[in-house]
Amino acid sequence: QLQLRESGPGLVKPSETLSLACSVSGGSISSSPTTYYWAWIRQPPGKGLEWIGSIHSGGNTYYSSSLRSRVAISVDSSKNQFTLTLTSVTAADTATYYCARQTWTSVGFFDSWGQGTLVNVSS
C-alpha cells in the first residue's frame, strides 16, 4: 500500500526558504508510469486547498502561476522522495503542506495523500 510522509521544519522565519521532503513507501517514484505525478498541496489554517505544483520522475514539472516565481519541486530517486522548496516566505505561506500522488488522467486527481505537516512562518 502506497504511503507518503512529509518532513521538514515546522517553523520558518520570514524571507527565508521553506524546504520539505515527501518520502514514498510501498511504491517506487522512479518506476512510476507516465500517468503518475507527485504533487504538493497546501492548506492555510481554516481555509481551503491550494495546489502548489507537480513533478514526474522524468523531471517534468508544473507549478501554480501564483507561486511559480518562488517554488521548485525536485525528485531524489535514490531516496524515493520528492522535495518542495519555497523561497522568500511570508506569513501568508503559513499552512499545512501535503504531498500527494497525482493520477494524470481525467482531471488529474490526487489519490494518495500524506498526513500533512504544519509550517509556521514567524520570526
Partner 1 sequence: EIVLTQSPGTLSLSPGERATLSCRASQTLSSNAAWYQQKPGQAPRLLTYGTSSRAPGVPDRFSGSGSGADFTLTIAGLEPEDFAVYYCQHLGSAVTWTFGPGTKVEI
| Residues contributing to the site for partner 1 (CB under 8 A) | 48-51, 54, 62-65, 98, 102-103, 105-111, 113-116
In the complex, the smallest distance separating the C-beta of residue 78 from partner 1, rounded to whole angstroms, is 26
Q: How far is the CB of 66 from partner 1 (least distance, A)?
A: 9
Beta-carbon neighbour count of residue 3 at 10 Å? 13
Rounded Cα gap, residues 88 and 72, in angstroms: 12
Between 80 and 103, name the residue whose CB sits nearer to partner 1. Answer: 103
Least distance between partner 1 and beta carbon 13 (Å): 26
Pair 39, 53: CB distance under 8 Å: yes
Q: Give 32 or 67: the residue with its C-beta nearer to partner 1.
A: 67
Tell me how far apart the alpha carbons of residues 90 and 92 are, in angstroms, rounded to a whole number. 5
